[in-house]
C-alpha cells in the first residue's frame, strides 16, 4: 500500500483547505507585502536613499512609495545599485550580502543579465512551489502519484563561483537548494543535475530513464519534447509512457505551451494534466492551480509587490521602451482583458522593476493572468499591434488545420516595396507548402487582431513565410550557448539578434 503517498496527499489536502481568496484580500495581501519589503530593506543603501522610514510612517504607504521611488529597468538597477552587490558590498538593495546571482538573457537581449537571488527569495520560491504541489491534492490522482519521482530538467547546479558570489541559471540555484525532505523525490539526482553540458545531460537522463518511476516532469516545452524523442528513439518504444507509465503531470513555463501541444501529445501514450508556471529569474509570479484554469493565479502574499503599467502608446514607445513617468496601477485598479507590463518590488532587492513581460487578467476574481508577450516582443511597424499571444494562437490554429507539428517559430518586421511586411521563419519537419501556410496564418491573424486586419489593407503589404527544419532553431541556440534549461527562442527578432540569425541562415545555405 502507498502509505507514504497517502500521508503526503493528506498533508497537501489539509494545506489546501483554506478560504477562497476574495478581491479585497488580494489588495490587503499586497499592502502587507509592500510594508514587509520596505521594513526589511529600510536600512539598506537603497532604503536610505529613498527614505523608506518616511514612506512607512505615511498613512498612505502606497502613494508615498510611488512618489518617492522611481521606476527601473535592468540597466538602471544594475548601473546604480546591483553592480555594488556584484562587488561583494552588503546591504545595497536588500540586507546582507548577496550569495547568488541568476544569469538571464531573457529573450530580448543577447547580453546576460545578473539578477540577485537572496536567501529570502529562495525561501519564497520553495514555499510557492509547495503551494503549487498542494493544488494537485485537490485533483483526483491516486495516492501512489505522491510517492513517484519529479523530473526537473533545468540548468546546472554546479554554479560558477568567482570568489564573491555564485552564478548560474535560476533553475540550477533553486534545484541546488531543494529542501532535504524533497530530495528523495527529485530527479535526475545530484550528479546529473551538476552537468553543465546540455547534450551530456540529455544523454545521462536518457540512459537512466528506465530506472526511474516518473510521475511529474518540469521544464521548457521545446527541450522536454527533444528529451522525449531521444528516449523513445533510444529504447525503440512507441511513446514516453512505455518508459514512464505513471507520468501524469507536466509542469511547464517560460513560453506559451499552445504552439507545442500538438507535437508534444504525439509522444504520449495517455493524456497528461498540464500546469503552467510563471517563474522568472526575478521571482515566482504565478502558477496554474487547476488544470481547467485559463490563466495562472498570481502569488500575492509571498515576497513580491506588483504594479501594473497599461501597455499602450502613452506608456511605451514603438520599441517597447517605457516612458519616464508612466501611468501605474495597483492590483485593485486593474481590469480584465487589458494588457499590462509588470513592475516588481521583491525580496531580492528589485524595486519598481520592469520585468519586461506583458500580462492580462483572464479572471480578476481569482487574480488569474496569462502572459501575452514581452514589451519588446511585439510587432507594430505601422500600427498593427501584433502581440506574442496573437502569434502563438495563429500558429496553433494553422498547425491544427494542416495537421503538422510546428516546433519553433520567429518573426521579424522588414521594409517592403516602400512599406512594410512580416517575415516568418517556421520550424517543422513535416511537409508543408509555404504558400498555403502563409495564407492560413494571415487569415487567422486578421481574425485575431483588428488592427492587423486594417494594416494588411494599407501599410503592411505582405507576409513572407520560410519553412525550415526544426533543428535549424535548436542548432542556432546551441551555437549561441543557449541550449536547454531555461532558454527559449525569441518570438520576435530585432537588431543584433536578427543580424546574427540572418548570417547563420546564409552560412548554412538556408537563405540567400
Rg (CA), the chain: 23
pLDDT at 6: 45
Q: How confident is the model at residue 285 (pLDDT cuts 50, 70, 90)?
A: very high
What are the pLDDT digits (tens) for 63-75?
999 999 999 999 9
How confident is the model over 148-162, as a mean pLDDT?
88
Return the SS3 of 223: helix
**Alpha-carbon distances, residue 242 vs 201, 232, 400 (angstroms):** 21, 8, 26
Q: At what angle do helices 388-402 and 434-448 cross, to 10 degrees?
A: 130
What are the pLDDT digits (tens) for 313-366?
899 887 788 999 999 999 999 999 999 999 999 999 999 999 999 999 999 999
If we measure between CA atoms, which residue out of 357, 302, 352, 347 comes closest to residue 116? 347
Residue whose C-alpha cell reads 516518473 in the numeric block: 214
Q: How confident is the model at residue 7 (pLDDT cuts 50, 70, 90)?
A: very low
What are the pLDDT digits (tens) for 366-375?
999 999 888 8
Residue 471 half-sphere exposure toward CB, CA atoms < 13 A: 3
In this predicted structure, the answer to whether residue 482 has a pLDDT above a threshold of 80 is no
What are the pLDDT digits (tens) for 239-281?
999 999 999 999 998 677 887 888 889 999 999 999 999 999 9
In this predicted model, which residue has the larger pLDDT, 198 or 403?
A: 403
What are the pLDDT digits (tens) for 417-458?
888 999 999 999 999 999 999 999 999 999 998 889 988 987
Q: Using CB atoms within 10 A of its CB, is residue 38 exposed (0-12), middle (13-18) or buried (19+)? A: buried
Q: Are the CB atoms for 91 and 43 separated by under 8 Å?
A: yes
Q: How confident is the model at residue 22 (pLDDT cuts 50, 70, 90)?
A: very low
pLDDT at 124: 95
pLDDT at 18: 44
In this predicted structure, the answer to whether residue 494 has a pLDDT above a threshold of 90 is no
How confident is the model over 102-123, as a mean pLDDT?
77
Supply 279's cell numbers. 517563474
Which domains, ranges and CATH numbers included, belong to the chain?
1-376 (3.40.50.12780), 388-507 (3.30.300)
pLDDT at 512: 53
Q: Are the CB atoms for 411 and 439 separated by under 8 Å?
A: no
pLDDT at 180: 53
Distance CA 487, CA 223 (A): 9
**Alpha-carbon distances, residue 408 vs 90, 144, 200, 210, 466 (angstroms):** 43, 36, 23, 29, 12
Residue-averaged pLDDT of the chain = 87
Amino acid at each position: 500500500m502507498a502509505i507514504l503517498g497517502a500521508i503526503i496527499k493528506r498533508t497537501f489536502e489539509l494545506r489546501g483547505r483554506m478560504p477562497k481568496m476574495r478581491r479585497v484580500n488580494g489588495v490587503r495581501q499586497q499592502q502587507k507585502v509592500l510594508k514587509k519589503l520596505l521594513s526589511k530593506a529600510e536600512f539598506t543603501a537603497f532604503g536610505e536613499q529613498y527614505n523608506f522610514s518616511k514612506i512607512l510612517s505615511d498613512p498612505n504607504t502606497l502613494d508615498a512609495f510611488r512618489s518617492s521611488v522611481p521606476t527601473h529597468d535592468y540597466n538602471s538597477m544594475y548601473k546604480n545599485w546591483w553592480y555594488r552587490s556584484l562587488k561583494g558590498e552588503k546591504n545595497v538593495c536588500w540586507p546582507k550580502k548577496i550569495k547568488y546571482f541568476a544569469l538571464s538573457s531573457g529573450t530580448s537581449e543577447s547580453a546576460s543579465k545578473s539578477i540577485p537571488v537572496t536567501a529570502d527569495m529562495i525561501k519564497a520560491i520553495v514555499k510557492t512551489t509547495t503551494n503549487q504541489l498542494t493544488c494537485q491534492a485537490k485533483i483526483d490522482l491516486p495516492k501512489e502519484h505522491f510517492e513517484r519521482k519529479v523530473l526537473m530538467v533545468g540548468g546546472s547546479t554546479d554554479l560558477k563561483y568567482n570568489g564573491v558570489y555564485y552564478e548560474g541559471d535560476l533553475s540550477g540555484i533553486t534545484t541546488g537548494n531543494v529542501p532535504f525532505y524533497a530530495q528523495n523525490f527529485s530527479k535526475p539526482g545530484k550528479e546529473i543535475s551538476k552537468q553543465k553540458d546540455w547534450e551530456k545531460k540529455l544523454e545521462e537522463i536518457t540512459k537512466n530513464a528506465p530506472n526511474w518511476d516518473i510521475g511529474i516532469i518540469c521544464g521548457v516545452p521545446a527541450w522536454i519534447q527533444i528529451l522525449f524523442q531521444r528516449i523513445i528513439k533510444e529504447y525503440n518504444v512507441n511513446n514516453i509512457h512505455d518508459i514512464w507509465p505513471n507520468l501524469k503531470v507536466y509542469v511547464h513555463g517560460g513560453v506559451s505551451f499552445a504552439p507545442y501541444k500538438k507535437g508534444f501529445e504525439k509522444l504520449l501514450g495517455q493524456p497528461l494534466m498540464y500546469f503552467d508556471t510563471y517563474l522568472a529569474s526575478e521571482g515566482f509570479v504565478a502558477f496554474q492551480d487547476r488544470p481547467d484554469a485559463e490563466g495562472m493565479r498570481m502569488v500575492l502574499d509571498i515576497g513580491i509587490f506588483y504594479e501594473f503599467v497599461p501597455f499602450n502608446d502613452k506608456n511605451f514607445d514603438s520599441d517597447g521602451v517605457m516612458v519616464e513617468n508612466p501611468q501605474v496601477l495597483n492590483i485593485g485598479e486593474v481590469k480584465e482583458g487589458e494588457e499590462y507590463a509588470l513592475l516588481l518590488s521583491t525580496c531580492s532587492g528589485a524595486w519598481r522593476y520592469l520585468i519586461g513581460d506583458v500580462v492580462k487578467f483572464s479572471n480578476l476574481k481569482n487574480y488569474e493572468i496569462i502572459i501575452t508577450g514581452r514589451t519588446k516582443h511585439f510587432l507594430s511597424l505601422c500600427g498593427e499591434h501584433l502581440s506574442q499571444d496573437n502569434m502563438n494562437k495563429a500558429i496553433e490554429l494553422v498547425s491544427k488545420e494542416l495537421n503538422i507539428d510546428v516546433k519553433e517559430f520567429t518573426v521579424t518586421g522588414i521594409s517592403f516595396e516602400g512599406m512594410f511586411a512580416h517575415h516568418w521563419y517556421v520550424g517543422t519537419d513535416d511537409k508543408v507548402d509555404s504558400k498555403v501556410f502563409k495564407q492560413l496564418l494571415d487569415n487567422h491573424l486578421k481574425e485575431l487582431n483588428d488592427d492587423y486586419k486594417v494594416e494588411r489593407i494599407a501599410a503592411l503589404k505582405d507576409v513572407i513565410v520560410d519553412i525550415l527544419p526544426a533543428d535549424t532553431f535548436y542548432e542556432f541556440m546551441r551555437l549561441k550557448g543557449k541550449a536547454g534549461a531555461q532558454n527559449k527562442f525569441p518570438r520576435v527578432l530585432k537588431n543584433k539578434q536578427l543580424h546574427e540569425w540572418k548570417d547563420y541562415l546564409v552560412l548554412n545555405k538556408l537563405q540567400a
